[in-house]
Structure 1
Amino acid sequence: MDLFNSALGKNITFMHPAYFIISGFIGIPHVKYYYVFLFFVYIISVLGNTIVMAVICLDHNLRAPKYIAVFNLAFADLFGNSALVPKVLDIFLFNHHHIPYNDCLTFLFFCYTCLSMQALNLVALSYDRLIAITFPLHYQVKVTHRFMLSLIASFWVFVITVVLLAVGLLTRLSFCESVVINSYFCDHGQIYRLACNDRTPNSVIAKLLPLVILWLPLIFILFSYSYIGYALSKVATVQERVKAFKTCTSHLLLVAIYFLPVLMTFSLVGNIHPNARIINLSLTSIFPPMLNPIIYVLQTQEIKESVKKLFKITKQSKITVIIINQSINK
């Protein structure tokens, strides 16, 4: 960050606070029950995403390019919830509301990076479905392992670059008065609005982030499914349409779970209580990473069969060990 600031001018001095105060859940009635809920959501998220990642790694039948994107989504979900939930519980459950300046920016970077990556990963999965259904004969050529790895890598580079820019612009701000962040984490919008010097670049990046991370991915996904719907309308039989559409159900559920709560929260931003907004946004952050692996295990036949196979092998291994131990004891 010092390198970033030096590029702005050698003689510029910024007033950085020693710490910020996170105050988001303070004053919400019975909020400790919500912390227990967050803890269980986090545990389910860790177990679910770990299982999905393990199954994709261990089962050689899941080597299609599509599952590279599924693996990456599980990784982003796991990493994102691990960056967010334990820190939120530490802040509010153990009253560690004072968070050092650099730690706050680091917290912001990891949370925004993983949340943004989840949206772009849904774009990769929608592209996979678009080609598979509308150009099935070209699928093996257009959607290769190399292409999917390159697409996912480019998304990571793009997201990290944009979020680093947002964090870097925060370091040029001076904080002369309040350091209280009325959110459940180090929220970019809440931080830059506390500054007392020119924050125009931060305002621009704050408007740009939702556009490139939320609206453009959603527009691409809607366009993809509009084209898929148009292509399916030309299919001769209803059975063929239903069969093709079933391959999209898991992805459509993921899209709905990720985008609908965000859009509802932002559309009602001026009409809901600040406490309700904080609860809604926190649920929007932690719920999709918990539900994504459950949806993929239940809705995707290949993963469902792989999970059954994995648990069957584990059970047989335990029985074999028990038999061997009994034989040795005799």
Structure 2
Amino acid sequence: MSGSASDLARRLADHADAVCREYLSNGRRIGNYWIVGDVRNASGRSLHVRLKTNARGHAGKWVDEATAEFGDLLDVIRESCGLVEFREVADEARRFLAMPRPQPRTHGAQHQPAAKRDSPDAARRLFAMSQPIAGTLAERYLAGRGIQSSTYERALRFHPGCYYRDFLTGETQTLPALIAAVTGLDGRITGIQRTWLDAAGNGKAHIVDPRRSLGHLLGNAIWLGFRPGAPVPMMAAGEGFETMASLRTVMPTLPVAAATSANHLAGLIFPRGCRRLYIAADADAAGRHGIQRLSQRAGEAGILTLTLRPQLGDFNDDLRHLGLDHLAAWLRDQLAPEDAYLLTPSG
């Protein structure tokens, strides 16, 4: 981060509460945190902005517990306003602060956002402590979602007592969880996604945010049906794990990547030899910018992209409510004609 950027971030942090009220207006203050859905000002409770510096951290720093993204208040202004160039972000920050343009400073490096310490190591440890999902509550959960062949996916494991902390109340508990590995193209685990489950087998656990990610996620994904290092001439990618696992249920030979969020989808690293990319969309517009950015990057890399759209909210909704055969028929017209062989109806 340049000196001028670090100075702006520091000045914004001095007015963190006011910045949040201006740019994250869909949130609210709870204790020393501003709570909102995400850095783009969606409603919800997964993003936490620290409002005052204390022993736990600096004012203005934020983390999204759903995606493991983090940053400072300049990032808040950039994302909430939809800005791209730093000049635009700086101008908006200066407008808010009603301050003249500062001269560049030389000591800004010390104010860089700190990386989440040991997150990939923690992810790898938790994955190693987990067990294969065959015969577990995790397999039962996925089967209830219509997702088949999950026991053969090496990225999926089960933990019978995974730690969960409610960030609003501070209360902690241990719950069973489906653990999905986030990996790079070399197969090395860089993060995980935890889906806490109801111990009685009734879907997800009845907690505020039953799904959270941990680790280094940008560029990486939950890969299903992928051999590290092998060329992948054709694949599918999308945000949600269950969306992509549903597509793999109906197209079991197609490698798929779940990027865990729209931002991470936009930054997905393409495997070697990729020539055709199917991008799974949801019915709402929340992830549209991720799809657009990924399509643009793929085009620049010479990769043909085609968008797959569900009939209902997402492809897991289609799979559960309409059935595998109906989903296969729905997808057939959206695939390139030469890829129709990928579909495997139940009949």
Pick the TM interval, shorter chain. under 0.3
Q: Which has the higher contact order (CA 8 A, sep 6+)?
A: 1
The TM-score normalised by the length of structure 2 is 0.24
Bigger proportion of residues as strand: 2
Q: Larger radius of gyration, structure 1 or 2?
A: 1
